[in-house]
Chain A
């Protein structure tokens, strides 16, 4: 089942001689269990596309269909609560983990669960289950500052999975990790995509990390210049 479809998406910053066309005529689609990579050098529009996909940035034109519902078209967001979609259907993984520093590993995973109104006992059990899945349950009560980079990223992945997200957006998830740890995170994302049937979109500049991805989009100057898939 298709999770996200983007048609003719564009984003223009500024106007007149200050106009910058950050994205132009972007078309892509991702379904349950798919792994998609967005590649490109700095300034190619990867992050802008991720912001639009995250429902944070208003596109200038085009259409976004999420989980079968048109949520953006020419006239703007189609009367949907975009924060609610983010909290209930999207999971985020960041380059620098972005764990909330004053919450323990378990509390970081509990936070999105508290936002969707899960009962405390249920939320606690789900959080521990995710931490076990990420093999970091023994660090559940540690503050992020006491965890290594790899451990922090595993907690971040657990947090992204907490709401059973249909779409997981990962912004350079391996950038702050060494190659070995980076590969392990990527393996984890692949496992999640297959086991949870979540669509995973990864923004990266490191082609070594996207082996086995179903879709790879190469961006340059705001346009998709190449589309394909990688081999296992």
Chain B
């Protein structure tokens, strides 16, 4: 005789309300799981999609994604000259906020050598790759653009020639691929008034030097303008059979730069930018699971206390302990499993509505279910303890 089910039938309204309430908590736990996976997936997506043999960055910097790294663009010639290097391409990556189709959009720009260089989009699902030196772009559809759209950035207008979905920025924002000079122009484009005022200030400083004539100062001025031929990394493809460690050791030793494999670059992100978010999400998930277990425990305790006289009667009639244990534990597990299934169904039907990508993985759902199931058992302990402690004598008297 399934006492738990009969009892729940009588209190179905309260039971359903509790299942929905706890289910919403499980929805948040599962959403956090998805957010955690999505965060890592997005954080690493660009590195995985680009996947060169080596990422060469400023010395002692964990760039270009985990921290800032700046290198003169011409360094790729020096790197290309290193033994074992087949190709070395400049690569620039930065985040901007610009108006796109009348709306302010936050996105990341990648600049790369569009004529056979590394770092460009690998999979274009609509249109084509960039083929011209200037004014073409490949974008992620998250940016809200379509093939053929013309997008003004800085001084120029760029045509969307291709769409790619293979990666997003480490913040989950859309990516825009431009040719390297275009990307540098968008990044370093300064306001005309600012340029004029800087020039005048520099000219005044130079003119004040006794060892320079005014004409010499005038000639020197263009040489002292800020250099915009700056990149964040040089991407390297090794020659077949070349030893990666040897090549990266050579680059570090002779060129005073740092070189990471793609695997090392992924680790830099995991232990760096993504680590605190990961810990934060883990903490939230743990707290929410604990709260869920406490709520289930309190509900089951209340359910049990309401039945305490019936439990006393059952014991007096001679019901063995397993009958009581089954009654309490079954309710706890029905509540936990019902709530989990509700949460699971809800999140799997609404995850697309979240602003950040939720990557729902069956393994995570299973682990959460196991934890919730164990939680349900733990939650029933308080009620069970009370039920088993109940004296059958309580059934006697008025």
Residues of A within 8 A of B (CB): 47, 50-51, 54, 56-57, 83-88, 90, 92, 94-96, 98, 100-103, 107, 110-112, 114-115, 143, 159, 171-172, 175-176
Give per-residue flags for B1-19: 1 if the beta carbon is below 8 A from chain A beta carbons, else 0.
1010011011100000000
Inter-chain contacts of A96 with B (CB < 8 A) = 398
Q: Which of A90, A101, A171 contacts B310 (CB 8 A)?
A: A101
What are 26 pairs between A and B in contact, CB < 8 Å?
A50-B396, A56-B316, A56-B391, A56-B392, A57-B393, A83-B315, A87-B318, A88-B318, A90-B318, A92-B395, A94-B395, A94-B396, A95-B398, A98-B310, A100-B3, A100-B314, A102-B3, A102-B9, A102-B11, A102-B307, A110-B1, A111-B1, A111-B319, A114-B1, A115-B317, A171-B397
Asked if B320 CB lies within 8 Å of chain A CBs, one says yes
Asked if B323 CB lies within 8 Å of chain A CBs, one says yes
The answer to whether A83 and B320 touch (CB under 8 A), given A102-B7, A110-B1, A111-B1, is yes
The prevalent SS among residues of B at the interface is helix
Docked-complex contact A94 and B313, CB < 8 angstroms: yes
Give per-residue flags for B159-176: 1 if the beta carbon is below 8 A from chain A beta carbons, else 0.
000000000000000000
Most buried by B among A87, A100, A112, A172: A100
Inter-chain contacts of A172 with B (CB < 8 A) = 398
Q: Which of A47, A84, A90 contacts B397 (CB 8 A)?
A: A47
The answer to whether A47 and B396 touch (CB under 8 A), given A102-B10, A111-B1, is yes
Give per-residue flags for B288-322: 1 if the beta carbon is below 8 A from chain A beta carbons, else 0.
00000000000000000001011001111111100
Docked CA distance A126–B193 (Å): 101
Number of interface residues of B (CB under 8 A): 26
Closest to B398 in A: A95
Docked-complex contact B1 and A107, CB < 8 angstroms: yes
Docked-complex contact B313 and A100, CB < 8 angstroms: yes
Docked-complex contact B317 and A51, CB < 8 angstroms: no
Inter-chain contacts of A87 with B (CB < 8 A) = 317-319
Docked-complex contact A51 and B323, CB < 8 angstroms: no
The answer to whether A83 and B393 touch (CB under 8 A), given A94-B313, A101-B10, A102-B10, is no
Residues of B within 8 A of A (CB): 1, 3, 6-7, 9-11, 307, 309-310, 313-320, 323, 391-393, 395-398
The answer to whether A175 and B10 touch (CB under 8 A), given A98-B313, A112-B317, is no
Inter-chain contacts of A50 with B (CB < 8 A) = 396
Most buried by A among B310, B315, B316, B317: B317
Inter-chain contacts of B3 with A (CB < 8 A) = 100, 102-103
B390 CB, min distance to chain A CBs, angstroms = 12
The answer to whether A115 and B319 touch (CB under 8 A), given A100-B314, A102-B6, A102-B9, is yes
B253 CB, min distance to chain A CBs, angstroms = 79
A2 CB, min distance to chain B CBs, angstroms = 22
Docked-complex contact A86 and B318, CB < 8 angstroms: yes
Docked CA distance A176–B219 (Å): 114
Docked CA distance A101–B309 (Å): 10
Docked CA distance A20–B62 (Å): 81
Inter-chain contacts of B9 with A (CB < 8 A) = 102
B396 CB, min distance to chain A CBs, angstroms = 5
Docked-complex contact A98 and B323, CB < 8 angstroms: no
A35 CB, min distance to chain B CBs, angstroms = 20
Docked CA distance A138–B176 (Å): 77
Docked-complex contact A98 and B318, CB < 8 angstroms: no
Inter-chain contacts of A103 with B (CB < 8 A) = 3, 6
The answer to whether A51 and B393 touch (CB under 8 A), given A87-B317, A102-B7, A102-B9, is yes
